[in-house]
Chain A
Amino acid sequence: MTSAAAAAPSPARRHGRRDAWTHAWSVIRADRQSMLGMVILVVFAIIAIAGPILAGPIDRAGANRPMLDPSLAHLFGTDRSGRDLFLTNIWATQVSLLVGVVASILSMVIGTAMGIAAGYLGGRWDAWLMRLTDFFYVLPTLVLALVLAAIMGPSLSNVILVIAVTSWPATARVIRSQTLTVRERMFVDRARATGASSARIMRRQVLPNVFGLVLANTTLTIAGAIFLETTLSFLGVGPRDTYSWGRILDESFEAGALTLGKWAWFVPPGVAVVLVVLAFTLVGGAFDEILDPRLRRRGAGPGAEPDATDPGGPLLSIESLSVPESLDPERRGG
């Protein structure tokens, strides 16, 4: 590995990367919507990390005082077995965010590996890997997730696994088309000329250059994962040993909170889901702007060259209708 491009990041490249981060931050700061998203996310992150420590374990307020209305002692009231719902919501924030983040990381790993392999190796590999991706893309996410969760049984790790297995195809498609453009770039040719193996080029040249897109996609995948977990838990196949927003909603519904008028039971967890999903979408929109060369200022950071056309792709695809990626219904899972 004597070629400059294949060597470890040079000072100039590191500098370029820092520029990219500065640029990213300035885009987010300049855009009121994504700033709002960031603030919401920071607040929820603090609740998820510090909340359970400060609030202590979920304590039954006394099993003889179930179904209380909101009061100063119990901000959201209590549930059927006298649990304080404010505390339960704080713990649920931690669980819901954790499931979202871990499931998304898993899903990103699968999707990125598939996308890079298909895009870089091309030919028969591309055809088969994309056929597999399209197959999973076509299957209705929520239905497949429900069936899988029902078969595997309800537990936190199973739900994470189910979400990861059902939500990687969108990422694989995006990463594949980005890989196709990276593959044609000069430094990849140079690395190939120095005799680097395909595996090494994919790891050292392609991955760093699609990584920004991977991160941008993660924000949207997390939103989708939280959405999916909430729906699965509401439908009764979520983890039974912890509380998530979806499980609180499920229990409130089963206990007849709607007809009993216990709005404080089912409104807060739903509002939390909406805020967090919206926040991730808003931040994701800013990432689109950072990464889309057409929306980008000239010469900002590495990889600012215009998007090459995708030689292997269809002439007309859904993307060309410019449905924002963040609004792809497949990502919502219901």
Chain B
Amino acid sequence: MGSAFVLRKLGGALLTLFAIAVLNFFLFRMLPGDPVNTLLPRTVSQAQKNALRIHLGLDQPVFPGIVRSPQGALEIDLSTLPDSLLQNQFLTSMGNLLVLDLGQSFSERKPVTEVIADHFWPTVLLVGTAEVIALVVGVLIGIRAGWRRGSRFDRLAINGSLVLYAVPLFWLGMLLFYLFATSNGIALFPGQQMVTPGARHTDLVAYWVDVLRHLFLPAATLALGLIAGNALIMRSSMVETLKDDYVTTARAKGLTESQVVRRHAIPNALLPTVTVVALTFGYVLGGAIGVEEVYAWPGMGSLIIDAIERKDFPVLQGVFLVIALCVVIANLVADMMYGILDPRVRT
């Protein structure tokens, strides 16, 4: 892969990240009123408010030539100009970002970075498990449906996927919860949280068994939603591949149909599918929010909802940045994989 291609993609990703940081700055400056009042609970002292005001640079103009009036509205004030080019909230906030200072969460009284770190791994565990299940099952269904195109299995796979695609994941989660975690159905699994509350695990094995039991339903919910998409993508990839010349050649060489499919069609059809998984990463994180809410899974989805309910804007801002960062990285990985798979895009 040419280094120019890598550099160009890397540059694009960095530009996107910068744009996200800028968007993030202006989004949260859109909040009406004094940011300190929206960023802090009403109970803190005036001294704490002033400390935050100076830390965030809120005593400075918002942007070169733009100040916030005492009423909270943004106004153009050109008299601040020469100084405000270097001293403004925008530059201060970008500087804080560069040193990974996302501010303090006021509901947990910890730095935002620590709060996010606490919730990061549960989401990785949930999303990772669901992705692996969905990839394996979806690809297997897609191979069979694409190979036997038009068969009863194919029709069933397509129609099933269409229906699954119309189901809101959080609602699917509610149904599975009702059926398999309450006495109204068969209470096979524990309902909420990641571990049984108050349980004292004697060893690491017992702990992980407990976590896996809690993980089963939310991961199954998320996986069901992803299987539909993966199966359809793998199916059309198979259909396209089976039309290719080298498949015809392989058939002409006298290989059996199963050899053709296994050695030639599947490996070639698989690679684009795996790449698409990287591209739909943002959607998976989005879907995980509702599922985490239903199962009270202590991940970033639950964190977003809590932050919104408590008006913990520093946390909300931080989670938004972290999720956007993950999505940009996933897209970069997908771009690189395309570059490896298809030399034509490296122009």
Contacts and interface: CB of A to CB of B under 8 A. Distances in A.
A234 B286 CA distance: 13
Contacts of B316: 147, 150
Which of A150, A152, A277, A333 neighbours the largest number of chain B CB atoms within 10 Å of its CB?
Answer: A150
Contacts, number: 164
28 contacts: A138-B327, A139-B324, A140-B283, A140-B285, A141-B283, A141-B286, A143-B286, A143-B289, A143-B320, A143-B323, A147-B316, A147-B320, A231-B168, A231-B290, A249-B170, A258-B174, A258-B177, A258-B184, A259-B191, A266-B178, A273-B171, A274-B171, A281-B165, A318-B279, A321-B233, A322-B236, A323-B229, A329-B283
B345 interface: yes
B118 interface: no
Interface of B: 16, 19-20, 27-28, 30-31, 161-163, 165-171, 174-175, 177-178, 182-184, 191, 228-229, 232-233, 236-237, 240, 272, 276, 279-280, 282-283, 285-287, 289-290, 293-294, 304-305, 308-309, 316, 319-320, 323-324, 327-328, 331, 338, 342, 344-345, 347
B296 to A, nearest CB: 11
A141 B289 CA distance: 12
A332 B170 contact: no
Q: Is the interface of B mostly helix, strand, loop or mixed?
A: helix
Contact of B162 (A140, A267, A278, A322): A278
Shortest Cβ-Cβ A-B pairs, 7 listed: A142-B286, A140-B282, A329-B283, A277-B166, A278-B166, A334-B286, A261-B184
Given A138-B331, A278-B163, A330 B338 contact: no
Given A151-B28, A316-B345, 18 more contacts: A135-B19, A140-B323, A141-B286, A143-B289, A147-B316, A151-B27, A230-B171, A234-B168, A234-B290, A235-B293, A261-B184, A273-B167, A316-B338, A321-B272, A323-B233, A333-B286, A334-B289, A334-B290
A315 B344 contact: yes
Nearest to A149: B308
| Residue among B31, B183, B290 having the largest count of chain A Cβ atoms under 10 Å | B290
A199 to B, nearest CB: 28
Contacts of A323: 229, 232-233, 236, 276
